[in-house]
C-alpha cells in the first residue's frame, strides 16, 4: 500500500497484454496504450477538424490550422524554405510530444514522455537523421562544422574536441530536458497532492498549490513540445547550412 502512494509509482510500466515477436518483448503496456491514444487523438482531431475544409474555418478547423501554422512558422524562422520537405516529420514530432504531454495531465493517465528511453529514442532518431542529411548534402565538407570559421589554427586542438562533444551531447540534452521536466512536474504534483489529505483542514494550502501547479504543468507541456521542436529545427538548419 505504501508503495502505491510513492510519488514515483505513477511512472511504473504495467504490462497490459504480454506479447513477444521473434524473441523481442513487445508487450502492450500502459505506456503503449497512451502512445496509441496520442496517435488516435491527434489523427482524429486533425481529420475531423479538416473534414469539411471551409474557406472560412470554424473553431475546430482554426485549431488544426493554428497548430500547422505554428510549426510552419517555427520551421520558417529557424530553417527557412529549404526545410519544407521535412515539415511532416517535424509536425509529427511536435504533435506527438504535445499530446503525449497533455494526455499525461489527465488524472490516472500515464505520461510516456516522462520516460528517458522514449525521449532518448526520439532524440537519437532525430540526431542520426540530421547527421545523415548533413553528410548526404555536404559529404566530407560536413566535418568543417567542428571547426568554426575565423578561428586561429592554434586553437583547433582545443576547439574541435569541444565542438565534437557538444555535437554528440545534443541528443542527450534534447531528451533529458523533456524527460526531466515531465518527471519533475508530475512528481511534484504527486508529492503535494499527498499532503492534501494528511494535513486535514490545512490541506487547502497544498490543494491550492496543486491547482496552480497543474496550470503551470499544462504550460510546460506545451513549452517543452515547442522547445523540442525548435531545437530539432535548429539541428536541421545546422545540417542544411552547416554554420
Partner 1 sequence: MPQLDVTTFVPQIVWLVISFTAMFLVMWKVCVPRIGGALEARQKKIEQNLERAADLKAEAEAAVETYEKALAEARATAHEEIAKVQADLKAKQDAEEAKLSQSLHAKIKEGEAAIDKALRDALAGLDAMAAEVAQAACERLTGDAPDSAAVNKAVADAAKARQA
Spell 112-128 as b/e; 16+ CB within 10 A means b: bbbbbebbbebbeebbe
Can you tell me which of 1, 4, 11, 143 binds partner 1, judged by CB under 8 A?
11
Q: Note whether 53 binds partner 1 by CB under 8 A.
A: yes
The whole-angstrom separation of Cα 210 and Cα 204 is 10
Q: Note whether 169 binds partner 1 by CB under 8 A.
A: no
Quick one: residue 139, left, alpha or beta (phi over 0 = left, psi -120 to 50 = alpha)? left
Nearer to partner 1, 88 or 200 (CB): 88
Nearer to partner 1, 186 or 206 (CB): 186
The whole-angstrom separation of Cα 54 and Cα 48 is 12
What residues between 94 and 123 interact with partner 1 by CB under 8 A? 95-96, 112, 114-118, 121-122
Beta-bridge partners for 28: 17
Burial of 24 (0-12, 13-18, 19+ CB in 10 A): exposed
Q: Note whether 65 binds partner 1 by CB under 8 A.
A: yes
Q: Which stretch binds partner 1 (CB under 8 A): 49-57, 151-159, 212-220, 225-233?
A: 49-57
Q: Note whether 69 binds partner 1 by CB under 8 A.
A: yes
Residue for cell digits 520558417?
A: 76
The whole-angstrom separation of Cα 122 and Cα 114 is 13
Q: Note whether 29 binds partner 1 by CB under 8 A.
A: yes
The whole-angstrom separation of Cα 219 and Cα 43 is 22
Q: Note whether 39 binds partner 1 by CB under 8 A.
A: yes
Chain contacts with partner 1 (rule: CB under 8 A): 8, 11-13, 15, 19, 24-29, 31-32, 35-36, 38-39, 42-43, 46-47, 50, 53-55, 57, 61, 64-65, 68-69, 87-89, 91-92, 95-96, 112, 114-118, 121-122, 179, 183
Amino acid at each position: 500500500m505504501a508503495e502505491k502512494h510513492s510519488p514515483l509509482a505513477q511512472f511504473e510500466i504495467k504490462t497490459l497484454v504480454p506479447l513477444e515477436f521473434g524473441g523481442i518483448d513487445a508487450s502492450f503496456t500502459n505506456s503503449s496504450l497512451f502512445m496509441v491514444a496520442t496517435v488516435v487523438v491527434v489523427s482524429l482531431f486533425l481529420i475531423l477538424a479538416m473534414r469539411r475544409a471551409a474557406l472560412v474555418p470554424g473553431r475546430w478547423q482554426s485549431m488544426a490550422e493554428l497548430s500547422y501554422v505554428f510549426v510552419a512558422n517555427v520551421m520558417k524562422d529557424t530553417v527557412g524554405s529549404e526545410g519544407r520537405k521535412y515539415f511532416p516529420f517535424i509536425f509529427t514530432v511536435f504533435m506527438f510530444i504535445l499530446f503525449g504531454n497533455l494526455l499525461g495531465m489527465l488524472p490516472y493517465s500515464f505520461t510516456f514522455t516522462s520516460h528517458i528511453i522514449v525521449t532518448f529514442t526520439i532524440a537519437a532518431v532525430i540526431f542520426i537523421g540530421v547527421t545523415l542529411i548533413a553528410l548526404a548534402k555536404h559529404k566530407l565538407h560536413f566535418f568543417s562544422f567542428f571547426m568554426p570559421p575565423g578561428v586561429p589554427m592554434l586553437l583547433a586542438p582545443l576547439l574541435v574536441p569541444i565542438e565534437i562533444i557538444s555535437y554528440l551531447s545534443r541528443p542527450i540534452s534534447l531528451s533529458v530536458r523533456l524527460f526531466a521536466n515531465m518527471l519533475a512536474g508530475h512528481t511534484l504534483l504527486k508529492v503535494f497532492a499527498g499532503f492534501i489529505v494528511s494535513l486535514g483542514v490545512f490541506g487547502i494550502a497544498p490543494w491550492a498549490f496543486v491547482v496552480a501547479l497543474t496550470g503551470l504543468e499544462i504550460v510546460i507541456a506545451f513549452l517543452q513540445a515547442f522547445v523540442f521542436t525548435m531545437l530539432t529545427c535548429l539541428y536541421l538548419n545546422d545540417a542544411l547550412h552547416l554554420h
